[in-house]
């Protein structure tokens, strides 16, 4: 299947044009008995940031198709600031992979560390909730081209897993 052609009069969509950065404060109601954030809360914030990035690229509504490669690297503590950075890594015909990096920041020392990483797939939808084409992604840097290449590999794995689930 071919990739969608650029829409005349519309700017080229780059990973940078989809980029989102948002911040949240870890409050007491968001933590468990260990004083660290609930994983589900972090997953919600990841889904929201990634959804905004995907919608920016798609130029309209999107739905979450999958969340994978979610790695909790270090715990996020009560009182820390959570920074979520998301951008589209790859765009297929109607779907996109969005990478999200989560950092935590100590409010006293301002030290930052990466705490979580995830990849999500979104599908652009029309007014009837049916999949619709998304613009082609145009990486600008060597790092963005590497991310696109890596995302193609992850997509191939996801498609194989999806076929196996449907046949199993």
- Given a cut of 70, the residues of the chain with pLDDT beneath it are 1-10
With tokens 């990634």, the residue in question is 50
Pick the CATH number of 15-167 from 3.30.70.1380, 3.10.129.10, 3.30.450.20, 3.90.1150.10: 3.10.129.10
- How far does CA 151 lie from the centroid of its chain? 12
Q: What residue ranges do the domains of the chain occupy?
A: 15-167
Confidence (pLDDT) at 3: 42
What one-character DSSP code corresponds to residue 4?
P
How far is Cα 150 from Cα 141, in angstroms, rounded to an integer? 14
- At residue 84, the 3 state secondary structure works out as strand
pLDDT score of 137: 97
Distance between CA 4 and CA 118 in Å, rounded?
A: 26
At residue 94, the pLDDT reads 97
Nearest to 92 by CA among 148, 53, 141: 148
91/101 Cα distance (integer angstroms): 19
Q: Per this entry, what is the length of the chain?
A: 168
């Amino acid at each position: 299947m071919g990739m969608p052609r650029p829409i005349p009069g519309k700017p080229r969509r780059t990973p940078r044009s989809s980029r989102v950065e948002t911040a949240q404060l870890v409050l007491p109601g968001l933590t468990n008995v260990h004083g660290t954030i609930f994983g589900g809360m972090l997953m919600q914030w990841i889904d929201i940031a990634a959804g905004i990035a995907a919608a920016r690229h798609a130029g309209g509504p999107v739905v979450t198709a999958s969340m994978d490669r979610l790695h909790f690297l270090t715990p996020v503590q009560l009182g820390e600031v959570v920074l979520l950075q998301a951008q589209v890594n790859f765009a297929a015909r109607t779907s996109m992979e969005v990478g999200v990096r989560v950092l935590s920041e100590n409010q006293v020392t301002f030290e930052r560390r990466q705490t979580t990483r995830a990849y999500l797939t979104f599908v652009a939808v029309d007014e009837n909730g049916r999949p619709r084409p998304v613009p082609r992604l145009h990486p600008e840097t060597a790092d963005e081209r590497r991310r696109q290449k890596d995302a193609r590999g992850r997509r191939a794995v996801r498609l194989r897993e999806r076929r196996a689930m449907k046949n199993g």
